[in-house]
Structure 1
Amino acid sequence: MALTKRKVLITGCSDDSMGSSLALAFHKAGYHVYATARDPNKMTQLKSQGIETLTLDTLSADSIAECVRKVPSLDILVNNAGRTFLMPVVDVNIAEAKKVYDLNVWSHIAVTQAFMPRILESKGTIVNQTSVGVTLTLPFQGVYNSSKAAMSMLSDTMRLELEPFGVKVVELRTGVVKTNLIKTMQNSTTTTIPEDSIYGPAKERIEKSLRQEQFENSGMPRQQWAEAIVRDLSRKPPQPVIWRGETAFLSWFLSLLPYGWSDGLVKKFSGLNDVAQILRK
């Protein structure tokens, strides 16, 4: 008798994303993959590989419920959908910032709650995508990194709360990976500070940092990252926190240092030193 394939559902699987790379890696490893995205027409790469694709808008209760109905059983849920956001905290548009939390935090909880009966039945695994930024104070990334930090704490809490049911919870603390995320961010969100910003004299340097130009050609190849994640998750049991991606080891190491010891490196890396010099003139 053939063994039943383990089933994994992944959110945020549009082409050239970390989600699509995870879907391909799980498929290659022999899993039955449910790859999901808000727009199914943006998963052509996965369809061509014979991967099952489903529509899932993680911000829509109706869409979530419809997706659950199409998935009879599930072993691993990967909450991967998300968006980035960069802006000095004092210049943040609150309405836009709330949208970041809606997608990066609350939608993950909503999807997890909806698929909980499937995960309980299989004594499965919930995987939450966060970031190495949950342990680093990075200028101009306060909203994004705090949303990931919130998801990190929620993951750790669920790890304890769901342990009595045999359910495992894993957090992916991902470093820099080569994806379309930066290009998508540049095309869909503002990278311009307000006209009345206190950072006005350093406008050009600030906006260069907001565009994340230094990362456009850097990062671990996304398929290499995804295959490493699948190996990590296939261990019995998987580690509760998985660090993968470029800068992941450095971020882990810096997280062990006393508070504030990494500030100098972070200021240089983020461009804040340049901004400070401009503002002091």
Structure 2
Amino acid sequence: MTGASTGMGAATAHALAARGFHVLAGVRRDHPGSPGVEPVLLDITDTEHVEALAARVAADERPLHAVVNNAGIQVNAPVEALPLAEWRHVFEVNLFGHVAVTQALLPALLRGGGRVVNISSVGGKAAMPTYGAYAGAKFALEAVSDALRREVEPLGVRVVVVEPGGVRTEMATRGIATANDLAGRMTPEQDRRYGGLVQAINSLMASGTSSGVTAQAAAEVIAKAVTARRPRTRYPVGRDAAVLTRLVRVLPDRALDRVIGATVRRHHPRVA
């Protein structure tokens, strides 16, 4: 699995190892292993790393049961204010890297009748303000997952999407720091337009994370997606994800805009 250094990824690696799997855990730097968990240096945007992972899998006599695409970054900024280089970086990590890993390992999955588990987000269903790049990549990952499922399930490979809401990990903390850094680079005009919005979204993100599920609880859902004999196509993680995915299905766009707008306004900084 990718993105296994900390948080939800590390918890999932250990949950799968506890179920008897030998887990190749993709990490960005040297990392101690543990029973059933073998760290593998993996930057999913680095072609050489991906090729080395495919070679490691091909050299193993054991069948490949699943690829869990979990690596990701969170970058939040208004569409107008986010530099194009940052847009491209978000898509490289949150979309194209997953496609690269899947392409490299799909032959092994086809031989063993394995499955692909893509870790998306509730942001792949509804795009909050300042989530344009992050949600855009997650929406795309959902679409790629649908296309892949319809291509390879007739060949014996299952494709599953996991959609977490708030999870108590370091990702949100890093996301808030990144959002503040990007906000500091906005022009004065952009700051007047969006400064309060950025603060509101940071507050909302912190609140959603603190009330979210634990990394271990999220890992149990991912492990279920990996091991279920007949997995569902999608698994929301957390009450917030379950509620929002239902709202997206039933509410018209304008009604959903009002719901999201009211939620964001509750977190806007108070003006004296």
Same fold, judged at TM 0.5 (above): yes
Tell me how far apart the structure 1 counterparts of residues 78 and 266 of structure 2 sit (CA, whole Å).
11
Evaluate the alpha carbon distance shift between residue 30 and residue 86 of structure 1 in structure 2; reply closer, same or farther with a 3 A threshold: same
Would you tell me which structure has more helix in proportion to its own residues? 2
Aligned to 1:62: 48
Q: In the TM superposition, what are the counterparts of 1:29-40 in structure 2 within 5 Å?
A: 29-40=19-30
AA matched with 1:268:
A
Q: Secondary structure at the match of 1:31?
A: coil
1:25 CA drift (Å): 1.0
Aligned to 2:175: 185
Aligned length: 264
Q: In the TM superposition, what are the counterparts of 1:34-183 in structure 2 within 5 Å?
A: 34-41=24-31, 44=32, 47-71=33-57, 72=60, 73-183=63-173
- Does 1:254 pair with 2:247? yes
RMSD of Structure 2 on Structure 1 (CA)? 2.3
Conserved? CA contact 1:59–1:107, under 8 Å: yes
AA matched with 1:70:
R
Evaluate the alpha carbon distance shift between residue 184 and residue 49 of structure 1 in structure 2; reply closer, same or farther with a 3 A threshold: farther
Evaluate the alpha carbon distance shift between residue 170 and residue 38 of structure 1 in structure 2; reply closer, same or farther with a 3 A threshold: same
AA matched with 2:74:
T
Conserved? CA contact 2:8–2:169, under 8 Å: yes
AA matched with 1:206:
V
Tell me how far apart the structure 2 counterparts of residues 202 and 241 of structure 1 sit (CA, whole Å).
34
AA matched with 1:233:
V
> Bigger CA drift: 252-261 or 148-157?
252-261
Evaluate the alpha carbon distance shift between residue 192 and residue 32 of structure 1 in structure 2; reply closer, same or farther with a 3 A threshold: same
Tell me how far apart the structure 1 counterparts of residues 200 and 29 of structure 2 sit (CA, whole Å).
30
Q: Secondary structure at the match of 2:250?
A: coil
Q: Secondary structure at the match of 2:174?
A: helix
Aligned to 2:257: 263
AA matched with 1:66:
A
Which runs of 5 or more residues in structure 1 are unaligned? 1-9
AA matched with 1:138:
M
Identical counterparts, % of pairs: 28
Conserved? CA contact 2:3–2:70, under 8 Å: yes
Tell me how far apart the structure 1 counterparts of residues 183 and 172 of structure 2 sit (CA, whole Å).
15
Q: Deviations over 1:246-271 (max 9, x none)?
A: 41211122122132222222112233
Conserved? CA contact 1:59–1:103, under 8 Å: yes
Evaluate the alpha carbon distance shift between residue 273 and residue 20 of structure 1 in structure 2; reply closer, same or farther with a 3 A threshold: closer
Evaluate the alpha carbon distance shift between residue 119 and residue 197 of structure 1 in structure 2; reply closer, same or farther with a 3 A threshold: farther
Q: Secondary structure at the match of 1:54?
A: strand
> Bigger CA drift: 212-221 or 135-144?
212-221
TM-score, length of structure 2 as denominator length: 0.88
Aligned to 1:5: none
